[in-house]
Amino acid sequence: MCGIVGYIGNNNCVPILIEGLKRLEYRGYDSAGIGIIDKNVSIIEKYKGKVSILEDNVYKKKLSATLGIGHTRWATHGEPNKINAHPHQNNDKDLFLIHNGIIENYQILKELLAKKGYKFYSQTDTEVLANLIDFHFKKTKDLFEGVRVALNEVEGAYGIAVISKKEPDKIVVAKKGSPLVIGVGRNENYIASDVNALIAHTSRVVYLEDDEVALITKDGFKARTIANHKLDKTIEEITVSADEITKGGYQHYMLKEIMEQPESVRNSLRGRLLEKEGISKLGGLQGFEDRIAQSDRIIISACGTSWHAALVGEYMIEEYAGIPVEVEYASEFRYRNPIINPNDTIFFISQSGETADTLAALKEAKKKGALVLGICNVVGSSIARASEAGVYIHAGPEIGVASTKAFTAQLSVLALITILLARKRRMSHMDGRKLVKEMDLIPDKIAKILTLNKKIEKLAEKFVNATNFLYLGRGYNFPVALEGALKLKEISYIHAEGYPAAEMKHGPIALIDENMPVVFIAPLDAVHEKVLSNIQEVKARKGKVIVIANELDKKVDKMADHVIKIPSTCPLLAPILNVIPLQLLAYHIAVKKGLNVDQPRNLAKSVTVE
């Protein structure tokens, strides 16, 4: 679920591990630890809380070793505390294990191992796995084989790294459903759950696939499947730089990423808009365009913020391309035996490309013969590799747990896909040119909205003590209302709900009083007058009304308590603009509440467990 790092070479691994864990803090965690082995040292240091606590303790002790693994844990089995923190060890305390994921049959394995004399001290599934590997290590007399054989008995998801005092010149790693990458250096090698932990040291990486296990020494690596088939892994070059994952002078990553949206959206569109032809060009879908356009149905599956983007995509594709679209929560999709036909196309959206629920849904859809396509941000991610084709959003690294620039980049890519399909089905050349021209203006319009940052910060002061919010929008902007509410919930811990504005009177209107802030997304579109009526309904009940409106809208000024005026655009693209003031409002409220904006409680950036 959270962070894995490891090092083997000739240098002291401790600062490398600590630095790597710091680079993975954005993923969310509740404890941190390292395990190191050298000729004269073999210890585990782990603590509840931040990496800084671990850092202070290990540096005070002046620890040094040339082999080590480190971990940040997001609790699944067992509460966050020192005992449940990683690394875990076997009963003999000579084998160290770190683990992301969930071992589903751990209770059965635990009972079997207990009968063989093993004892357990934590509440975790990981300690069970450490002792299972120990059992097979003792039988095979080989760490790599012990890990490989043990994993054949395991059900669930894992990304693991194992080291042992008995073989202090190797790390054994394995992956199933949880990301793991090998960093290739000179006379030294690295492992991590995320390339962000490696980029300060190497740009050469090897991605492990599911059911693969690798032996890593300082001089190289070898890989096999868990079924013991030899593999030839390809070394790839990563292009992300260390500078891209720093705050760049901003107080928080989240603010930096909000402010990067003119450029991130521009990157999503770059080279993909052909104004003269009035069409978009997506190299990742080349050869599949006609099949997608001729689909009986398109399904879009995702979780969280990506699911909100999918909802906007449904509006886009159905209106402009005329293809029926269904949006599915990935976490529910695979478990309800969905009806999937060979002539369906299914897009799976995930910023990280590692979301466990989305990846599992993708694999289920693939079995049923649908065309499976990915929309991801992270190059080389599991969903990107498992898809038959797809589109990268090119938003750049997103470190803040609450997604911002990835959302607007996802919307941009969905708009590109819509134009591509619409032009193949029923959109005229002239209409295509108008849309493409308007899309090209979006980055500059985002930049103009961002100049309102100080105004929105002042507005946020008025709502720091609010306990509830409603967000209301219609049509394309109903999903924007959902996303605005989610952002506020995620980082400020204020209860917030998003609704279609017309649904307010079917229940939520009962909540409205003089203490209830209500945010309306009210662009000048076909349902503008209807939304103005909804605003009046709230004002009649003394609700505090905040409106995201267009610059030319004069009517709304007399109705709202607070108005944020932004540039107008066509309905297809309006969500990209309308969400940005909501991101800033959530951000400033959370900051003024003194909260950890980049690492909100209980949340993880990449959700790699179901």
Catalytic positions are: 2, 605
Which has the closest alpha carbon to 421: 508, 300, 505, 308?
Answer: 300
Which has the closest alpha carbon to 329: 352, 368, 290, 355?
Answer: 355
Residue 510 has a CB neighbour count (10 Å cut-off) of 10
Q: Is 600 helix (H, G, I), strand (E, B) or coil?
A: coil
Distance CA 256, CA 551 (A): 25
Look-up of token digits 């990742």: 284
Q: Is 121 helix (H, G, I), strand (E, B) or coil?
A: coil
Helix (H) or strand (E) holding 374: strand 371-376
In order of 136, 153, 437, the CA distances from 133 in angstroms are: 5, 10, 59
In order of 4, 9, 21, 183, 305, the CA distances from 194 in angstroms are: 8, 20, 10, 10, 21
Distance CA 469, CA 218 (A): 54
Look-up of token digits 């449940």: 84
209 DSSP assignment: P
Distance CA 73, CA 268 (A): 33
Give strand pairing partners of 37: 42, 67
In order of 125, 131, 132, 134, 396, the CA distances from 116 in angstroms are: 17, 11, 11, 12, 50
Q: Which two tokens stand for residue 410?
A: 């996802």
Helix (H) or strand (E) holding 563: strand 562-566
Instruction: Report the DSSP pairing between strands 31-37 and 42-48.
Output: antiparallel
DSSP 254-286: HHHHHHTHHHHHHHHHTTTEETTTTEE--GGGT
Distance CA 103, CA 327 (A): 30
In order of 123, 257, 600, the CA distances from 304 in angstroms are: 29, 18, 15
Backbone phi and psi for residue 416, each to the nearest 5 degrees, phi listed first: -60, -45
Instruction: Report the DSSP pairing between strands 31-37 and 230-231.
Output: unpaired
